[in-house]
Structure 1
Amino acid sequence: MKAYIFPGQGAQFSGMGLDLYENSPMAQEYFEKANDILKFSITDVMFEGSAEDLKETKVTQPAIFLHSVILAKTLGDAFKPDMVAGHSLGEFSALVAAGALNFEDGLKLVSQRAQAMQKACELQPSTMAAVLGLKDAVVENICANTEGIVVAANYNCPGQLVISGEIDAINRACESMKEAGARRALVLPVGGAFHSPMMEPAREELAAAIENTVFSAPNCPIYQNVTASAVTNENEIKSHLISQLTSPVRWTQSVQQMIADGATHFTEVGPGKVLQGLVKKINREAETASATFNTEA
């Protein structure tokens, strides 16, 4: 069975999407539509902006979403997923690609999400850190016993977790992780504690937008970050999307469940190859590939 997976923040690169724009009239149409919806020329930043320009939250999230969704659309009849999943932001790309959300609504929600997250980051200084070489339970236990807000935020693959929370609490937890034998416990250059209770203001803001958006049943099951299980009911999808900002990304568990449910081949749709690397670390037997666009589209 074929699984299609969609990357999240951090996959962006200068020049992303330009090959799609130049080679596909359909892609060009979608990119121009995106400029109109966002009310600024995101294509200029994507195609010509520096890595620094692309780091701006209001740009990063829509840019990755656009690259992934437009690439999926250019695949035409070749895009026949048995299941889909997306890492954090990538869940929105997966939902549009699977027909649960239309392009315009998906882009508006991603843009609102980015801005709400940015605002939440500015309310209170917070950060994230990567922890390598410890079992999940050890990381969870250290977080639970560290003073202040610090939680496991991204279960990326066995032995690779990201923790999220208050700056002092993250620093304390990193010291404890090293003492417990972590190969690395490294604070990341991010502006906020994503997928933690500190995103509550953003969750509330996004909840209203999601509740007012029309969702449909997807064409195939989506394995959502919050539950790591197959979901097809649009009300459940909405509820999990709302919870996603303050809940961990259960990527390891999602991939394991997809494999248990019959996935043998994972195609990454969007910029970079990060998710393919994670899938291989979760299960060496799984086949992985990058989606390549159809120039006829």
Structure 2
Amino acid sequence: MKAYIFPGQGAQFTGMGLDLYENSNIAQELFEDANGILGFHITDIMFEGSAEDLKQTKVTQPAIFLHSVILSKVLGDAFQPEMVAGHSLGELSALVANGVLTFEDGLQLVSKRALAMQKACEIQQSTMAAVLGLDDAVVEKVCEETPGVVVAANYNCPGQIVISGEIDAINKACETLKEAGAKRALVLPVGGAFHSPLMEPAREELAAAIENTAFNTPTCPIYQNVTTTAVINPDEIKKNLISQLTAPVKWTQSVQQMIADGASHFTEVGPGKVLQGLLRKIDRSVAAESAIFEKE
């Protein structure tokens, strides 16, 4: 079965999407629509902006979403997913790609998500850290025993977890994890504690927007970050998407479930190859590639 996967924040690069814009009328129309929906020329920043420009919260998430979704649209008949999944932000890209959300509604939700997360980050200083070389259970136990808010936030692949929480709690947990044998426990240059209880203000804000958005029946199942299992019920998809901001991204478990359900070929749709790298660490036996756009 063909599985299509969509990357999250961190996959952006200067010049992203320019090849699509210059070589596809469909892409050009969608990018121009996006400029209108967002109320600023995101294309200028994507095509010509610096890495620093692309790091702006209001830019990063919509830029990655646009690259992924527009690429899926220009693939035409070659895009025939039998299952989809997205890493964090990528879940919204996946929901447009499998028909649950329209392009316009998806982009508006992504924009609201980015701004709500930024506001939550400003309420309380917080951060995330990458932990390499420990079993999930060890990392979870250290998080539970560390004073303050610190949780496992991203299960990226075996031996790679990202923890999220208050700055002091993250620093203390990193020390303990190194003592427990972690190869690395490195604080990341991010603006806040994504996928932790500290994102509750963002979850509440986004929940209202999601509840007021039409969710259609998907053309194929989505394996959501919160549940890791195949979901096709629009109401269930909506509920899981609301939970996602404060719940961990169970990427390892989602990919393992997709493979167990018959996925034999994965295509990453969007900027970069981060998810292909994680996939190889989860299961080297399945094929993986990047979606390639053939010029019109």
For Structure 1 versus Structure 2, the TM-score category normalised by the shorter chain is over 0.9
Q: Percent identity?
A: 79
Read off the aligned partner of 2:33 and give its amino acid letter.
K
Matches within 5 A, 1:44-83: 44-83=44-83
Instruction: Tell me what 2:169 maps to.
Output: 169
Tell me the SS of whatever aligns to 1:215. Answer: coil
CA distance in 1, matches of 2:56, 2:9: 11
Hey, what's the Cα distance between the residues in 2 that align with 1:219 and 1:180? 45
TM-score by length of 2: 1.00
CA contact (8 A) 1:153 1:196 kept: yes
Q: 4+ residue stretches of structure 1 with deviation over 6 A?
A: none
Contact residue 7 and residue 271 of structure 1 kept, 8 A = yes
Q: CA deviation at 1:294?
A: 3.0
Distance 1:62 1:208 in 2: 19
Could you tell me how far 1:283 is from its partner in structure 2? Answer: 0.1
Distance (whole Å) between structure 1 residues aligned to residue 20 and residue 71 of structure 2:
7
Deviations 1:261-288 (A, max 9, x none): 0001100000000000001100010100
Other-structure match for 1:107: 107
1:122, 1:204 → 2: CA distance?
16
Give the Cα–Cα distance (whole angstroms) in 1 for the partners of residues 281 and 69 of structure 2. Answer: 25
Report 1:98-137 matches (<5 A).
98-137=98-137
Other structure's SS at 1:40 match: coil
Corresponding residue SS for 2:37: helix
Match status 1:283 vs 2:261: no
The residue matched to 1:279 in structure 2 has which SS?
helix
Q: Distance in 2 between matches of 1:279 and 1:231?
A: 21
Q: Which residue of 2 aligns with 1:146?
A: 146
Letter aligned with residue 258 of structure 2: M
CA RMSD of aligned residues (A): 0.4
Q: How far did 1:117 drift?
A: 0.1
Residues in 2 aligned to 1:264 and 1:153: alpha-carbon distance in whole angstroms? 27
Instruction: Give the Cα separation in 2 of the matches to 1:42 and 1:293.
Output: 21
Q: Distance in 2 between matches of 1:11 and 1:68?
A: 11
Paired letter, 1:32: E
Task: Tell me the equivalent position of 2:186.
Answer: 186
Q: Which amino acid aligns with 1:38?
A: L
One-letter amino acid matched to 1:47: F
SS of the equivalent of 1:176 reads helix
Letter in structure 1 aligned against 2:5: I
* Paired position in structure 1 for 2:155: 155
Equivalent residue number for residue 36 of structure 1: 36
1:253 alignment partner, SS class? helix
**Given that residues 7 and 89 in structure 1 are in contact (C-alpha distance below 8 angstroms), is that contact kept between their aligned partners in structure 2?**
yes
Match of 2:11?
11
Asked whether the 8 Å contact 1:76–1:294 carries over to 2, the reply is: no
- Which letter does structure 1 place at the counterpart of 2:38? L
**What SS does the aligned partner of 1:181 have?**
coil
User: What is the CA-CA distance between 1:245 and the residue it aligns to?
Assistant: 0.1
User: Which amino acid in the other structure matches residue 184 of structure 1?
Assistant: R
| Paired position in structure 2 for 1:239 | 239
Unaligned 5+ residue runs, structure 2? none
Deviation at 1:293, TM superposition (A): 1.2
Q: Which runs of 5+ in 1 are unaligned?
A: none
Q: What is the DSSP-based 3-state SS (H/G/I as helix, E as strand, rest coil) of the residue aligned with 1:242?
A: helix
For the residue of structure 2 that corresponds to 1:117, the secondary structure is helix
Following TM superposition, by how much is the alpha carbon of 1:295 offset from its aligned partner in structure 2, in angstroms? 1.9
Aligned length, in residue pairs? 296
- SS of 1:155's partner is strand
SS in 1 for 2:162: strand
- The residue matched to 1:262 in structure 2 has which SS? coil
